[in-house]
Amino acid sequence: MQTREQAFQAASQRTTIHREALHHVPHSNWAYLYDKDTFHLRVRTGKENVGQVFALTGDKYDWEHYHEEHRMRKIASDQFFDYWETAVKPENKRFSYAFRMQAEDETLWMTETGFYTEPPAPPDGFYERPYIHEVDLFTAPEWAKSAVFYQIMPDRFANGDAGNDPVNVAAWGDTPTAESFFGGDLQGIIDHLDYLARLGITAIYLTPIFEAPSNHKYDTTDYRKVDPDFGDVEVLKELVANAHAKGIRVVLDAVFNHISAQSPQFQSVIEHGEHSEYAGWFHIHNFPVKVTDGKPNYDAFGFFADMPKLNTVNPEARKYLLDTAGYWLKEVGIDGWRLDVANEIDHTFWRDFRKVVKDINPEAFIIGEVWSDSMRWLNGDQFDSVMNYPLASRLTEYLNNGDMDAGRFGEQLGNLLMRYPQQANEVLFNLLASHDTPRILTQLGGDPRKLKLAAAFLFTFTGTPCIFYGDEIGLEGEGDPDCRKCMIWEEERQNRELFECYQSLIRLRKAFPALQTGRFRILTANPQERAFVYERVDADAHFVISLNPSEQPATLPLPLEDHFQDALNGEKLIPSEGEGQVLLDLAPYSYRILIKTNETLRSPEQAVHPVGE
């Protein structure tokens, strides 16, 4: 048997397997509990460097009777690496493990202690999962996996009650400015719940509705009061009740990172300085508080003096905010929180926040605004989901015929999917645009064909899709404030073809769990080509989705041995006899969604209700 030093020396003399590319850690997104019985293991190898990977697992207390070899599946690739995964169901809720890689004529074992060219004696030096505790399982609300969200800025969606309009209200549809008020309110949302239901929406995310001086309400003055411009708590209760009656959940926006400088708490600090009972609620550098050359002498959101940052470590401030989160869950029965500037608040606060929320409603959905890698918040002790801006930016670049061809787009998707455990990917808050970005149609050069492609991807990809109000009828706009235009309600001014495209895609997603939680795999993503093909598969349905974001038509040879049909128009595709493939023609800037089910193939009328029904 080799000593450890001999094993390292022997391994270093071989170069077939690129050891510097190999990576695994026994926790986080590399080794995690997926459900109460199933553990997922992942390992990284050099791209196209390793032909097969196996996970060797066993019980350290009785390896002879409890050991297995699991062939791992390559689930993703990026520019430099391949990623492999397998599921393990240990009989005794514990296991040790190692990896065996094969490339050409070389076999290499990887354990926690290093690399070996001869089989290491188990379980000494193996990675270890000492005991699997179900209480440590990260679970998000099951309903979020099948949800279709719709983001609304209340001031810009619909004016249902002219009696609560601000005194300086602008005419509906005027060009927005940073100071514009248009009179939209909660009653306006109530009045259009039928519209959302027809579209297929199952959840609403409202930007802040609490009392604040601005039109966007991200500068709260009173967290326990609905802004009078929007209505009152009774109207909010009516909205939630009516939405629930239509199968639509309601998620509110919590701005706990900062507060308005006009809030009673900060005004007290201005007046009383360090003697204010609220002085500890903020990060004051010195007293008195002041703004010099546009910069405050206290921490703020960015350098915006009118949004002083809250000190969430302060016991009184912390209790007030946590009690606020619980108050609205109890008082109104909301279904969750979207958390503004979540990455600038301490993790201890968010752990306490999750406990408060989940103790009241275990099915409440918690979404954090984090624009980058968010693994620190997705370990099951803080958020259920984050806003997936990285996906939106990569999809937009790909559809715009930029430097990102299909090959590069596939690599980017692989990299994003490997950031998080599978159950987190299943509920990532996937959006194309929001109130903080230019409108998606504008980002795509005003081309509705590209937007249809983006929508087709959004509703067939892993994660929870969200529509920014008006995107479905072709609203355009550059960055804030232009992206925050009023909703257009006159159908003759709407892009109804685009609306019906969204409607049919949503209907399809809701009809088939395979498009919600089915396995995702890339089938075709070639460098210097535009066409991109992937599949979603579960035990009941198999989807193949093809995108052609190009001015040129494409003919794609798809390796489909069974009979598929178009999921939207019912056209049947029969593979060539003996060849096991289908030649699929795609027009410029078009997509096709093919389906095969385990039952007798249904007509589109049976699988997906016709548009307009």
Residue 572 carries which side chain, given as an amino acid letter?
K
Asked whether the beta carbons of 563 and 581 are under 8 A apart, the reply is no
Taking only Cα atoms into account, the Rg of the chain, rounded to an integer number of angstroms, comes to 27
Number of Cβ atoms within 10 Å of the Cβ of 460: 26
| Catalytic residue, candidates 82, 229, 253, 340 | 340
Token reading at 300: 């703020």
Instruction: State the Cα–Cα distance between residues 151 and 190, nearest whole angstrom.
Output: 14
Residue 271: Cβ-neighbour burial (10 angstroms; 0-12, 13-18, 19+): exposed
SS (H, E, C) 346-393: CHHHHHHHHHHHHHHCCCCEEEECCCCCCHHHCCCCCCCEEECHHHHH
Instruction: State the Cα–Cα distance between residues 64 and 24, nearest whole angstrom.
Output: 25
Token reading at 383: 């958020």
Instruction: State the Cα–Cα distance between residues 150 and 205, nearest whole angstrom.
Output: 6
Beta strand pairing call for 336-339 and 249-254: parallel
Q: DSSP letters along 192-247, please? A: THHHHHHHT--EEEEPP-EE-SSSS--S-SEEEEE-TTT--HHHHHHHHHHHHHTT
Phi, psi of 398 (to 5 degrees): -65, -45
Nearest C-alpha neighbor of 474 from the set 462, 487, 464, 460:
487
Angle (nearest 5°) at CA 456 between 453 and 457: 90
Determine whether 238 is an active site residue. Answer: no
Angle (nearest 5°) at CA 451 between 447 and 456: 150
SS3 of residue 328 by DSSP: helix
Measure CA 108 to chain center. Answer: 36
End-to-end CA distance of the chain: 72
Determine whether 411 is an active site residue. Answer: no
Instruction: State the Cα–Cα distance between residues 70 and 116, nearest whole angstrom.
Output: 19
Give me the count of residues in the chain: 613
β partners of residue 101: 53, 108
Phi, psi of 554 (to 5 degrees): -135, 140
| Catalytic residue, candidates 59, 335, 369, 384 | 369
β partners of residue 149: 203, 466
Side-chain-side CA neighbours of 204 within 13 Å: the count stands at: 32
In the sheet that holds 541-548, the strands lie side by side as 519-525, 532-537, 541-548, 590-597, 564-566, 572-573
Measure CA 557 to chain center. Answer: 31
Enzyme catalytic residues: 340, 369
